[in-house]
Amino acid sequence: MSSRPPDELPNTLPRPAGEFERLQAVWKRPRGWRVLTQVNNTAIGLWYIGAALLFLVLGGILALIMRTQLVVPGNDLVDYDLYNQLFTMHGSVMMFLFAVPVIEAIGILLLPAMQGARDLPFPRLSAYAFWAYFVGGLVFFTTIFFDLAPDGGWFMYPPLTSYEFSPGLRTDFWLLGIGFIEISAIAGAIEIVVGILRTRPPGMTLDKMPIYLWAMLIVGAMIIFGFPPVILATALLELERAFHWPFFLAEKGGDPLLWQHLFWLFGHPDVYIIFLPAAGLVSMMVATMAQTPLIGYRWIVVAMLATGTISFALWVHHMFATGMPHLSLSFFSAASMAVAIPAGLQVFSWIATLWRGNVQRTTPTYFLLGFFGVFVLGGLTGVMLAVVPYDWQAHDTYFVVAHLHYVLIGGMLFPVFAGIYYWAPLISGRQLSERMGTWACTIMFIGVNLTFFPMHIAGLLGMPRRVWTYADGYGLEIYNLLSTVGAFVFAAGIGIVLLDLLLHFRPAGKVNTNPWRAGSLEWLPQDEYAIRSIPFVTNRDPLWANPSLPEEVDAGQHYLPGTATGVRETIVTSPIDARPQYVLRLPGSSWLPVLAGVGTAVFFLALTVKWMVIAVLGAIVALVSILMWLWQSDPAPSGKLFDIGGGLSLPDYMTGSNSHSWWSMVVLMLVDGSIFACLIFTFFYLWTVTLSGFPPESLELPLIGSSVAAALAWAVSVAAMYVSNRMLPQKRMGAVGLTLTAALAGVWIAFGLSLHALLETNLQPQLHGYASTAYTTVAWQGLHAVLLTLMAGFTLVRLWLGMIDPVRRVVFDNTRIMWYYCAAQGVLALLVMSSPRLAM
Amino acid sequence: MQHRFTATTFLVAGGLLVWMADFVFVYVFAALACARGFDDASLLGLPVVPLTTVLASSLAGAITVAIVRRGYLMQRRESDEHTRFIGFVAWAGGALALVALVLLIMPALVVRLNVC
Amino acid sequence: MESSHSASVLHPASDSGAALIDQLGTALYVGGAIIFVVVMALAIYGVFAKARAINARGWILGGGLAFPIVTLTVLLMYSLAVGNGLNAIGSSNALQLFLECFGIGDARERTPADGLLRVHVVGKQWWWEVRYEQPGRQEVILANEIRMPTDRAVELVLSTTDVIHSFWAPSLAGKVDMIPGRTTRLRLQTSEEGTFRALCAEYCGGQHALMALYVVTQETTDFDAWLASQARPANEPTDPFLKTGYDAFFRGECHECHTIRGTPAEGTSGPDLTHVGSRKSLAAGTLNNHIGTMAGWIAGAQDVKPGNKMPSSLAYSGVELRALSAWLGSLE
Interface with A, mutate which of C37, C175, C183, C309 (most A CBs under 10 A): C175
Chain A contact present for C302, CB below 8 A: no
Task: Give chain C positions within 8 Å (CB) of A330.
Answer: 80, 83
Task: State the nearest Cα–Cα gap between A640 and chain C, in angstroms.
Answer: 51
Chain B contact present for A666, CB below 8 A: no
Which residue in C69, C87, C101 is closest to B99 by CB distance?
C69
Chain A contact present for B35, CB below 8 A: yes
* Interface size between B and C, measured as CB pairs under 8 A: 26
Binary contact (A355, C170; C-beta < 8 A): no
Which residue in B5, B20, B27 is closest to A331 by CB distance?
B27
Chain B contact present for A717, CB below 8 A: no
Of A824, A789, A540, A537, residue with least CA distance to A676: A824
Radius of gyration from C-alpha coordinates of chain C: 25
How confident is the model over A562-590, as a mean pLDDT? Answer: 96
Chain A contact present for B93, CB below 8 A: yes
Of A58, A33, A240, A277, residue with least CA distance to A156: A240
Which residue in C72, C77, C89 is closest to B112 by CB distance?
C89
Beta pairing partners, C197: C214
Which is more confidently placed, C89 or C260? C260
**A143: CB partners within 8 A, 6+ apart:** A89, A149, A150, A170, A173, A177
Binary contact (A206, B85; C-beta < 8 A): yes
The H or E element containing residue A306 is helix A297-310
CB-CB neighbours of C326 under 10 Å: 19
User: Cα separation of A840 and A224, whole Å?
Assistant: 37
Q: Are strands C145-149 and C212-218 parallel, antiparallel or unpaired?
A: parallel
Which residue in A351, A358, A460 is closest to C42 by CB distance?
A351
* pLDDT at residue A790 greater than cutoff 70: yes
Q: Which of residues 81-110 of B touch C (CB under 8 A)?
A: 99, 102-103, 106-107, 110
Judge contact between A259 and A686, C-beta under 8 A.
no
How confident is the model over A155-164, as a mean pLDDT? Answer: 96
**Buried (b) or exposed (e) across A498-526, using 16+ Cβ within 10 A?**
bebbeeebeeeeebeebbbebbbbbbbbb
- pTM over cut 0.80: yes
Nearest residue in chain A measured CA to CA from B36: A688
Chain B: touching chains (3 or more CB pairs < 8 Å) = A, C
Per-residue confidence (pLDDT) for residue C4, from 0 to 100: 54
User: Cα separation of A185 and A89, whole Å?
Assistant: 19
What band does C2 get if pLDDT is binned at 50, 70 and 90?
Answer: very low
The DSSP secondary-structure symbol of A407 reads: I
Q: Angle CA(C10)–CA(C12)–CA(C13) in degrees, nearest 5?
A: 160
Task: Give chain C positions within 8 Å (CB) of A380.
Answer: 32, 35-36
Percent of chain A at pLDDT above 70?
Answer: 99
Task: Give chain B positions within 8 Å (CB) of C76.
Answer: 103, 106-107
* pLDDT at residue A420 greater than cutoff 80: yes
Task: State the nearest Cα–Cα gap between A451 and chain C, in angstroms.
Answer: 19
The string of pLDDT tens digits covering residues B5-62 is 999 999 999 999 999 999 999 999 988 888 888 877 888 878 888 899 999 999 999 9
How confident is the model over C54-61, as a mean pLDDT? Answer: 93
User: Cα separation of A160 and A145, whole Å?
Assistant: 23
Which residue in B99, B102, B112 is closest to C87 by CB distance?
B112
The string of pLDDT tens digits covering residues C173-226 is 999 999 999 999 998 989 999 999 999 999 999 999 999 999 999 999 999 999
Judge contact between A182 and A158, C-beta under 8 A.
no
What is each CA distance from A134 to A121, A137, A451, A464, A837, in whole angstroms?
Answer: 22, 5, 30, 34, 48
**Buried (b) or exposed (e) across A533-567, using 16+ Cβ within 10 A?**
bbbbbebbbbbbeeeebbebbbbbbbbbbbbbbee
C217, C223, C226, C228: CA torsion to nearest 10? 150
DSSP string, C274-320: TTGGG-SEETTTTEE-SHHHHHHHHHHHHHHSTTSSSPP-----HHH
Chain A contact present for C80, CB below 8 A: yes
Nearest residue in chain B measured CA to CA from A574: B5
User: Cα separation of A590 and A126, whole Å?
Assistant: 12
Chain C contact present for B41, CB below 8 A: no
CB-CB neighbours of C238 under 10 Å: 7
The DSSP secondary-structure symbol of A511 reads: B
The string of pLDDT tens digits covering residues C299-308 is 999 999 999 9
Per-residue confidence (pLDDT) for residue B116, from 0 to 100: 61
Q: Is the previous residue joined to C126 through a cis bond, with omega within 30 degrees of 0?
A: yes
Query: Helices A810-834 and A704-727, interaxial angle, to 10°?
Result: 160
User: Cα separation of A677 and A684, whole Å?
Assistant: 11
Judge contact between C85 and C78, C-beta under 8 A.
no
Judge contact between C52 and C212, C-beta under 8 A.
no
The DSSP secondary-structure symbol of C93 reads: -
Task: State the nearest Cα–Cα gap between C165 and chain B, in angstroms.
Answer: 21
Give CA C297 to chain center in angstroms: 23
Binary contact (B116, A325; C-beta < 8 A): yes
Chain A contact present for C162, CB below 8 A: yes
CB-CB neighbours of B58 under 10 Å: 12
Interface with C, mutate which of A70, A350, A388, A692 (most C CBs under 10 A): A388
Binary contact (A325, B88; C-beta < 8 A): no
* pLDDT at residue A802 greater than cutoff 60: yes
Binary contact (C205, A160; C-beta < 8 A): yes
The H or E element containing residue A1 is none
Judge contact between A318 and A270, C-beta under 8 A.
no
Q: How many residues does chain C have?
A: 332
Interface with C, mutate which of B34, B88, B110, B114 (most C CBs under 10 A): B110
Interface with A, mutate which of C59, C93, C162, C195 (most A CBs under 10 A): C59
What band does C107 get if pLDDT is binned at 50, 70 and 90?
Answer: low
SS (H, E, C) A656-670: HHHCHHHHHHHHHHH
**A128: CB partners within 8 A, 6+ apart:** A187, A593, A596, A597, A600, A626
Task: State the nearest Cα–Cα gap between A9 and chain B, in angstroms.
Answer: 23
Beta pairing partners, A76: none
Out of A4-8, A228-232, B56-60, least confident range = A4-8
Task: Give chain B positions within 8 Å (CB) of C69.
Answer: 99
Binary contact (C8, A256; C-beta < 8 A): no
Q: How many residues does chain A have?
A: 840
Task: Give chain B positions within 8 Å (CB) of A298.
Answer: 85, 88-89, 92
Instruction: Write down the mean pLDDT value for chain A.
Output: 96
What band does C108 get if pLDDT is binned at 50, 70 and 90?
Answer: low
Binary contact (A256, C180; C-beta < 8 A): yes
What band does C113 get if pLDDT is binned at 50, 70 and 90?
Answer: very low
The string of pLDDT tens digits covering residues A737-764 is 999 999 999 999 999 999 999 999 999 9
Of A454, A97, A165, residue with least CA distance to C203: A165
In A590-656, alpha helices (H): 592-608, 612-631
User: Cα separation of C163 and C147, whole Å?
Assistant: 25
CB-CB neighbours of A760 under 10 Å: 13
Q: Are strands C165-168 and C194-200 parallel, antiparallel or unpaired?
A: antiparallel
User: Cα separation of C188 and B46, whole Å?
Assistant: 32
The H or E element containing residue C213 is strand C212-218
Task: Give chain C positions within 8 Å (CB) of A373.
Answer: 40
Binary contact (C174, A321; C-beta < 8 A): yes
Which residue in B13, B30, B104 is closest to A325 by CB distance?
B30
User: Cα separation of A809 and A15, whole Å?
Assistant: 36
What band does B109 get if pLDDT is binned at 50, 70 and 90?
Answer: confident
Which is more confidently placed, A672 or B109? A672
Q: What are phi and psi of A772, to 5 degrees?
A: -65, -40
Chain B contact present for A688, CB below 8 A: yes
For chain C, which domains are there? 240-329 (2.60.40.420)
Nearest residue in chain B measured CA to CA from C85: B112
* pLDDT at residue A686 greater than cutoff 70: yes
Per-residue confidence (pLDDT) for residue C3, from 0 to 100: 45
Which residue in C51, C179, C206 is closest to A322 by CB distance?
C179
Nearest residue in chain B measured CA to CA from A300: B89
Chain C: touching chains (3 or more CB pairs < 8 Å) = A, B
**A548: CB partners within 8 A, 6+ apart:** none
Binary contact (B112, C73; C-beta < 8 A): no
What is each CA distance from B20 to A98, A269, A671, B14, C139, in whole angstroms?
Answer: 30, 14, 19, 10, 49
Which residue in B32, B100, B107 is closest to A688 by CB distance?
B32
Chain A contact present for B11, CB below 8 A: no
The string of pLDDT tens digits covering residues C239-291 is 999 999 999 999 989 999 999 999 999 999 999 999 999 999 999 999 999 99
User: Cα separation of A627 and A546, whole Å?
Assistant: 46
Per-residue confidence (pLDDT) for residue C1, from 0 to 100: 38
What residue ranges in A651-726 does DSSP mark as E strands? none
Nearest residue in chain C measured CA to CA from B109: C101
What band does A1 get if pLDDT is binned at 50, 70 and 90?
Answer: very low
Of A504, A502, A511, A522, residue with least CA distance to A429: A511
Of C8, C150, C172, C11, residue with least CA distance to C86: C172
* ipTM, two decimals: 0.96
Judge contact between A212 and A284, C-beta under 8 A.
yes
Per-residue confidence (pLDDT) for residue A2, from 0 to 100: 55
Binary contact (B2, A330; C-beta < 8 A): no
